Chain A
């Protein structure tokens, strides 16, 4: 083996250009695979950084006609007390506060969690203690647990922080613990933890919490389903109003993450795997060409007594050595690639912080490198097995066996074309989907809108009058700022990942007996000139105005979809509907439908209530500006601080940024697939070029004969190009049928385009044929320069 290795090193050093090209191709292929696999490994295979994470589940409530929804706190308390399948369970919710009392006010992210969260995720504070049951109830003294990051950043890693006081939204809290560095909550990021029970909404209509639980050892998902099903039926009987037609479901936490990004990541992994296969085919081609020139060497070795298996071993040693060098450099490529991927990743990409190169990735790279070396080395190695010694020694390895080797090289190129076509069609479908999504009109004018979030602390704005007065004055002042055309606010903003649904029924229809029989709508509370600021279309009636006050009749605005659904061919203005947990409201206007949860998602019908009749402390401010909206943020911040200097504005974004963020996962997949498809096309072009150039060199004698018989340059050029086109055609046919079967797996990633979209399939096929044409043109031109005299060996 040592002898083979030494000779392999010498052989590779003797052909530095070949070695460099092969190593770089492999480094790119293996590096890209390692980078993507690192993401898959971190997010899909070892996603959850918790002990025995396989037992962690999400508990979802499900109402017939509504689908999955968040948990209502009283429901949680009931199933937590009654179930026999969970070792522990908890509810969590993202929230935000303005932190004061420790330096400058700062807007911070918090998670409100029930006391069971620590046993559920099996995490303990590194200092102090976890929440106790007594902390997690109404009337308890406010306590918080800091994350390591906040403790270091705002408390200078003070070891005596336990017991210190801080103010969140101007309410006092005591620090009781600090979580260790590296601590992560499932699916959410935060700076500190607060018990959810302090001020939990006790309404069974209020579904706003995420439930996580840990199965008892040995309990299956089916058993958990069955147990929770029994509990949900009991609750339906006990609370038919709120829980009628409602059920509980269990989903593994890993499964939930897989649903979010699994398909996209697996498509990318498949794509990058195809790139590596194409790279392998290219290098196998290079090795086959080299083996031709080395036939005499192999023949001499065999003549001197080397067994055929020894010759094969020598060839495989060389190819695996090449792959290992490529893999080593591939690790560097992977390290850069991971940085690149993380920089591109969507804002809400799950567990992005866990993506890194680790020892398992080193093993992966080693395994892929060895496998790659064997894959591209096996064909040339076994070609040497079929060596005809006598012919090879006699003819110096110039001609014998050329046909079969050439057929192999052509077959490899056909494979490359087919694989590139599959990959490019995948990329084409995603690009078309992306274009389709960007063409979707969101229902509002995206340009020149500035948005930001503002939370009024409960302590200072304890009642609706103070809250309403603040927003009234703020929006009135902002409206007169230079550059602001309209100022408004809403409780939730389209594409902001924050949406609220409300149940309702139409006046005159019987009140549904069960919660699941209600209709649901996206609901927003809006203030000031929100509709004008967003550029929404008034279809009928009017926008809210100064007439709509706290003590005037309750009004609402609905969207055109709701109007069309319930009052087709009628004027909905003046009709009334009953909002669950609210009151009967009269429709005063109809606006255009807007996309709330994503440009590529269908949303429910929409209802808007005036802020004056339902004041809300957490609002998204929205401003239509006459110039660059981002430039207005300082002026608006000043306007806010002129009214209350302790308020912090956060998540300042233009609407264009929000639209862009909503497309980020799609953009991420498209960009990567386009890069991989481009790489595949390039490798396929190099492959076609290589085979045609080799073929022209091998056939220079034939070209000479043809020219002697009167072939013109165009005839010779056509001969070469036709040969390449034949390969391209076979590759395209195989690639099309493969793509036809494979693109279905990415159906869930597509929008407005089928998995077998004829224009994409046709367009990409034509593109590939053009690439093949260009790649074969240079060798074809070279063929016309064959000197017939030289080719025919005149003196």
Chain B
């Protein structure tokens, strides 16, 4: 399942149970998973299978009900809120289906945001933001607001924002879900390019075409990994 080196992400018997009134919903039921550094993993499965819950746990947006999560050699499942925020800021880059750019901020300011929280000095922030925007081909739109951009352009900016802090892993949740096929293809090409340059990517997708871009595909059903295969790239 891994390339043999120490995994960047190690999940062991991770479960997630949601309790509402008297109903218990087992969103994840004993997930074991390792993801190596530089790996491109896609997660697929029907609606309600636990893909997004798994991604939320991987992104430290949620905590597992049980089990162990080790990120970059550090157990992170029991961390406090502010420690999780710090790791999220430094180790993880998010790419959302709905882009989730902040409407009141310019392209530059949106991309700059993770560095601001990290306390990176202004001059260095400027350099990193421009580099990230260069990578996604959006450096000519720094002063635009998200509403002035197309969906594809917004997602490129979102990718730049995910990249700018050089995180250990990019987590992408249906990154092409809100895009037409041309823009979707362009974003996927961008992801593949990032992966070629060494980025670790975990991507949730419904689309089998894009799932094939990954090194490894994981199939979830009812909160369990039911299939796992290495793609021939």
Residue A711 is within 8 A (CB to CB) of chain B in the complex: yes
Residue A551 is within 8 A (CB to CB) of chain B in the complex: no
Residue of B nearest to A703 (CB): B102
Bound CA span A706–B103, Å: 12
Q: List 25 A-B contacts (CB under 8 A).
A: A403-B104, A702-B103, A704-B100, A705-B100, A706-B117, A708-B59, A708-B94, A709-B88, A709-B89, A709-B117, A709-B161, A710-B86, A710-B114, A710-B118, A711-B89, A713-B82, A715-B117, A788-B61, A789-B56, A792-B100, A794-B52, A794-B55, A794-B56, A794-B61, A795-B48
9 further interface pairs, Cβ-Cβ under 8 Å (given A403-B104, A713-B82): A705-B102, A707-B61, A708-B61, A709-B88, A711-B89, A712-B117, A715-B117, A795-B47, A795-B53
Bound CA span A710–B60, Å: 10
List of B residues within 8 angstroms of A793 by Cβ = 98
Residue of A nearest to B100 (CB): A705
Q: Please report which residues of chain B, range 92-150, place their CB below 8 angstroms from some CB of chain A when the two chains form the complex.
A: 94, 96, 98, 100-104, 113-114, 117-118
User: A337 CB to closest chain B CB, in angstroms?
Assistant: 45
Bound CA span A164–B39, Å: 119
* B-to-A contact residues, CB < 8 Å: 47-48, 51-53, 55-56, 59, 61-62, 81-82, 85-86, 88-90, 94, 96, 98, 100-104, 113-114, 117-118, 161, 173
Contact A712 B82 (CB under 8 A): yes
Bound CA span A707–B86, Å: 10
Map CB proximity to B onto A783-795 as digits: 1 under 8 Å, 0 otherwise: 0000011001111
Contact A709 B114 (CB under 8 A): yes
- Give the 6 A-B CB pairs with smallest separation, nearest first: A710-B89, A794-B52, A795-B52, A710-B117, A712-B85, A705-B100
Bound CA span A317–B96, Å: 45
Q: Please report which residues of chain A, range 684-726, place their CB below 8 angstroms from some CB of chain B when the two chains form the complex.
A: 701-702, 704-713, 715
Residue of A nearest to B164 (CB): A709
User: A722 CB to closest chain B CB, in angstroms?
Assistant: 13
Bound CA span A706–B110, Å: 10
List of B residues within 8 angstroms of A403 by Cβ = 103-104
User: A692 CB to closest chain B CB, in angstroms?
Assistant: 16
Dominant secondary structure of chain B at its interface with chain A? helix
Contact B113 A706 (CB under 8 A): yes
Contact B52 A710 (CB under 8 A): no
User: A79 CB to closest chain B CB, in angstroms?
Assistant: 77
Contact A710 B61 (CB under 8 A): no
Bound CA span A795–B61, Å: 13
Q: How many A-B residue pairs have CB under 8 A?
A: 67
User: B90 CB to closest chain A CB, in angstroms?
Assistant: 7
Residue of B nearest to A784 (CB): B81
User: B217 CB to closest chain A CB, in angstroms?
Assistant: 20
* A-to-B contact residues, CB < 8 Å: 403, 701-702, 704-713, 715, 788-789, 792-795
User: B80 CB to closest chain A CB, in angstroms?
Assistant: 11
Contact B81 A713 (CB under 8 A): yes
List of B residues within 8 angstroms of A704 by Cβ = 100
User: A400 CB to closest chain B CB, in angstroms?
Assistant: 11
List of A residues within 8 angstroms of B51 by Cβ = 795
Max count, chain A CB within 10 A of own CB: residue among B55, B61, B98: B61
Residue of B nearest to A710 (CB): B89
Bound CA span A795–B52, Å: 6
User: A421 CB to closest chain B CB, in angstroms?
Assistant: 27
Residue of A nearest to B161 (CB): A709
List of A residues within 8 angstroms of B113 by Cβ = 706, 709
Q: A709-B117, A710-B88, A713-B82 are in contact. Are A794 and B53 (CB under 8 A)?
A: yes
Residue of B nearest to A707 (CB): B85
Q: A792-B100, A794-B53, A794-B56 are in contact. Are A710 and B82 (CB under 8 A)?
A: no
Bound CA span A404–B130, Å: 31
List of A residues within 8 angstroms of B104 by Cβ = 403, 702
User: A132 CB to closest chain B CB, in angstroms?
Assistant: 86
Bound CA span A457–B118, Å: 93
List of B residues within 8 angstroms of A794 by Cβ = 52-53, 55-56, 61, 173
User: B125 CB to closest chain A CB, in angstroms?
Assistant: 14
User: A577 CB to closest chain B CB, in angstroms?
Assistant: 81
User: A789 CB to closest chain B CB, in angstroms?
Assistant: 5
Contact B61 A789 (CB under 8 A): yes
List of B residues within 8 angstroms of A792 by Cβ = 61, 96, 100
Contact B85 A710 (CB under 8 A): yes
Q: A708-B94, A709-B94 are in contact. Are A789 and B62 (CB under 8 A)?
A: yes
Max count, chain B CB within 10 A of own CB: residue among A704, A707, A709: A709
Residue of A nearest to B88 (CB): A710
Bound CA span A706–B102, Å: 9
Max count, chain A CB within 10 A of own CB: residue among B53, B81, B102: B102
List of A residues within 8 angstroms of B173 by Cβ = 794
Bound CA span A795–B46, Å: 12
List of B residues within 8 angstroms of A710 by Cβ = 85-86, 88-90, 114, 117-118
Contact A711 B85 (CB under 8 A): yes
Bound CA span A702–B146, Å: 13
Bound CA span A352–B56, Å: 72
Selected from B48, B90, B102, the residue in CB contact (under 8 A) with A702 is: B102
Residue of B nearest to A788 (CB): B61
Bound CA span A704–B59, Å: 13
Residue of B nearest to A794 (CB): B52
List of A residues within 8 angstroms of B62 by Cβ = 789
Bound CA span A556–B43, Å: 109
User: A523 CB to closest chain B CB, in angstroms?
Assistant: 75
Bound CA span A789–B59, Å: 10
List of A residues within 8 angstroms of B86 by Cβ = 710, 712
List of A residues within 8 angstroms of B52 by Cβ = 794-795
User: A407 CB to closest chain B CB, in angstroms?
Assistant: 11
List of B residues within 8 angstroms of A713 by Cβ = 81-82, 85
List of B residues within 8 angstroms of A788 by Cβ = 61
List of B residues within 8 angstroms of A702 by Cβ = 102-104
User: B82 CB to closest chain A CB, in angstroms?
Assistant: 5
User: B164 CB to closest chain A CB, in angstroms?
Assistant: 10
Residue of A nearest to B87 (CB): A710
Residue of A nearest to B55 (CB): A794
List of A residues within 8 angstroms of B102 by Cβ = 702, 705-706
Bound CA span A709–B112, Å: 11
Bound CA span A147–B88, Å: 88
Residue of A nearest to B118 (CB): A710
User: B115 CB to closest chain A CB, in angstroms?
Assistant: 10
User: B66 CB to closest chain A CB, in angstroms?
Assistant: 18
Residue of B nearest to A702 (CB): B102
Bound CA span A792–B100, Å: 8
Bound CA span A705–B99, Å: 10
